[in-house]
């Protein structure tokens, strides 16, 4: 992460700033604009919570506790994640814990 001029760049390892990026105005801490090379990277940043691994793909989130793996059998809640995203978890307990956790 790199903050400058009221904007916060969010990058995954191996990513570099680009002129072609997404900007989420007011979505970051203290109303900062979040910039990332793609929407999924920005979404993962906004959805991060301690004790959970978050993975975004095509605007949808998977939330996992340590040791859990994605499964075809899962629960989903539409529109409850950042920016109205769908959140998926392997079970209802993980989903509820994630939604109740503070960022």
- What pLDDT score was predicted for residue 4? 76
- What pLDDT score was predicted for residue 19? 85
Q: Are 95 and 77 within 8 A, CB to CB?
A: yes
Continuous H helices in the chain? 39-47, 92-100
Q: How far, in Å, CA of 99 to CA of 92, rounded?
A: 10
- What pLDDT score was predicted for residue 1? 78
pTM for this predicted structure: 0.87
Phi, psi for residue 40 in degrees, rounded to 5: -65, -40
Nearest to 95, CA basis, from 51, 64, 71: 64
Residue ranges in the chain whose pLDDT is less than 50: none
- What pLDDT score was predicted for residue 48? 95
CB atoms inside a 10 Å sphere around CB 89: 25
**What is the β-pairing status of strands 53-57 and 75-77?**
unpaired
């Amino acid at each position: 992460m790199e903050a400058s001029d009221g904007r916060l760049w969010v990058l995954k390892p191996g990513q570099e700033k680009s002129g072609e990026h997404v900007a989420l105005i007011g979505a970051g801490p203290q109303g900062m604009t979040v910039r990332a090379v793609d929407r999924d990277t920005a979404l993962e940043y906004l959805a991060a919570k301690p004790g959970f691994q978050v993975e975004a793909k095509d605007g949808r989130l998977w939330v996992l506790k340590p040791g859990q793996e994605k499964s075809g059998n899962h629960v989903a809640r539409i529109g409850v994640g950042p920016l109205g995203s769908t959140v998926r978890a392997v079970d209802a307990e993980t989903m509820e814990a994630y939604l109740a956790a503070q960022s």
